[in-house]
Structure 1
Amino acid sequence: MTTTGGTQSIDRAAQLLTLVVEADGPITFSELADETGLPRSTTSRLLAALEANRLLERSAGGAYRSGALFALYATRHDPWSQIARLADPVLRRVGVETGETVNLAIPRGDSVVQIAQVDSTYMLSSRDWMQVAVPPHCSALGKVLYAWHALPLPEGALEQLTDRSLATSEALRRQLTGIRRRGFAVTSSELEIGLDAIAAPVRGPDGDVIAALGVSGPSTRLGRLTDRIGAELIDHAETLSRVLRPRMRKKGVA
């Protein structure tokens, strides 16, 4: 049977996508071209199309890895949708106490995925983060997952979204000891100027950190309340951990 040009392009793109998704880590352009045997011009064109459609993305070093769509939609058909519903009462209590946007996030590969949100009661508030891919080092939720080894630490230069964003993996590592010591993480204008966030760890059945509970809102409101909200989030995260552990043992979520 003769393969048409369109079908051939789809087959080749699927081959590249499969290699990246199944790889143990980011895979370089040269490795992909060599592995598939495709012309480098064809490889470049197909990778650009996959990246434009968020099926692939590039690491800080330029290598390819699975894109945001995999992380954002992987939660639709797994036990975490049930976990998000169980967590909702705790998130709502945090929302009542703080008035700010509340999120529950989990690690997916080297990304952070928001699985639940309670909106702020303020007119001036944070956005809907449920479908947004955020660099973990610019996120309090991400810093929590880095600090307790739920996310693999990045290497080298980091994406800077503002002049307050951490610029290197070494700068991130220097923060993690302090985060573990006080029990919560903070970002201040690191994702967006004027936006602050605070987050604390949620633990699974074995005591490992498997999620992060956080709030975000304008710096004018959160900046002076960091310690108080951080302490409250630690308490709420511990409550959420106790709520989730029995269900996670039953469902085998890890």
Structure 2
Amino acid sequence: MQVVVRALSVLKILARSPQGLTLGEISERLELPIASAHRTAAVLEEERFITRSSSNRRYFLGPAIREFAQADFPRESPLVTAHQAVAEASRRTGETVFLSEFAGDKVVCLALSESSFPLRLFVRVGQIMPLHAAAAARVLLAWQPAEKTRKLLANDQLTAYTPGTPHTVDAVLDHLDGVRVAGYDVCESELDKNVWAVSAPVRSSTDEVVASITLAAPSQRMADDPARRKAIDIILAAAGEMSTDLGWVP
């Protein structure tokens, strides 16, 4: 792999040399034989990673480097790439769709695909979801062992974010009963006013709920039953696709 290391070394030294370097300077600074420096530079120049001035014969970083830096990558987090089902659900609805999992005793957003509408909701990778008030968290909580669920809720701060927020342990437990019956959760102005969300469980091959996939939108775009039913069906289908990928059999 010496040739790869050598090529990367040339790129790094040119990145620190805005005035460019001659072949001799490259050879000297990297302690390379002049012939080796020439061969390396020739390949990098051919692939457009570096260029050579026709006037002063100095080498500079080339256009291929700029293409890497300015590439139009998707908007998903550079740390966690959303499953294709997340992106597809967002594309079909135009709304923000995100994936959440337990991280210790907290439910955290791991990946997302943002809304295409000018008016969009603020959700970020790494955001912690309130166990009692967010559909993304309640779907995960609903299929936990009953003793663990009660303990998690008892140790958490059940803030009444809006008049509709279930903010006692018993109220949340009653709500989770309905989530298990329906197979998904809907949150309407319970965490944020005028926000509607639907979340569905993602299951593993052992039938364990390992994640939730959630669509969140301003209530005004989900004001009628057909729009809500479409969103629910799309999120259930996305959860099913992801579960199938994990080996789950209904």
Using the size of structure 1 for normalisation, the TM-score is: 0.59
Measured in 2, the distance between the counterparts of 1:175 and 1:213 equals 18
Alignment of 1:90-239 (within 5 A): 90-149=85-144, 152-153=149-150, 154-155=153-154, 158-224=158-224, 225-239=227-241
Q: CA deviation at 1:229?
A: 1.6
Equivalent runs, 1:31-46 vs 2, <5 Å: none
Is the alpha carbon distance of 1:168 and 1:223 closer, same or farther for their aligned partners in structure 2, counting shifts above 3 Å?
Answer: farther
Structure ID, larger Rg: 2
Long gaps (5+) in structure 1: 1-80, 247-254
The normalised TM-score by structure 2 is 0.60
Q: Deviation of residue 138 (structure 1)?
A: 1.2
Give the conservation status (yes or no) of the 8 Å contact 2:109–2:129: no
Task: Note the alpha carbon deviations across 1:159-217, whole angstroms, 9 max, x for none.
Answer: 11222211211111111121111111011111111111110000012111000001101
**Cα deviations by residue, 1:50-74 (Å, 9 ceiling, x for unpaired):** xxxxxxxxxxxxxxxxxxxxxxxxx
Q: Secondary structure of the equivalent of 2:172?
A: helix
Pair 1:240-2:237 in alignment: no
For the 8 Å contact 1:200–1:214, the answer to whether it is kept is yes
Residues of 2 paired with 1:217 and 1:227: CA distance? 14
3-state SS of 1:221 partner: helix
Match of 2:33 in 1: none
Q: When the two structures are aligned, how many residues end up with a matched partner? A: 165
After superposition, residues 68-107 of structure 1 pair within 5 angstroms as 85=81, 87-107=82-102
Of Structure 1 and Structure 2, the greater helix share is in 1
Query: How far off is 1:152 after superposition?
Result: 2.9
Please tell me the residue identity of whatever aligns with 1:152: T
Aligned-pair CA distance for 1:133: 2.2
2-structure distance, mates of 1:169, 1:213: 24
Aligned to 1:8: none
Give the Å deviation of 1:88: 2.5
Shift of 1:110: 2.1
Cα distance, 1:84 vs. partner?
A: 5.0
Q: Give structure 1 regions of 4+ aligned residues with deviation exceeding 2 angstroms.
A: 131-134, 150-153, 222-228
In the alignment, residue 162 of structure 1 is paired with which amino acid? T
> For the residues of structure 2 that align with 1:203 and 1:127, how far apart are their CA atoms?
26
Identity %: 29
Report the residue type matching 1:212 in the other structure.
S
Quote how far apart the aligned CAs of 1:141 are: 0.6
Amino acid at match of 1:236: A
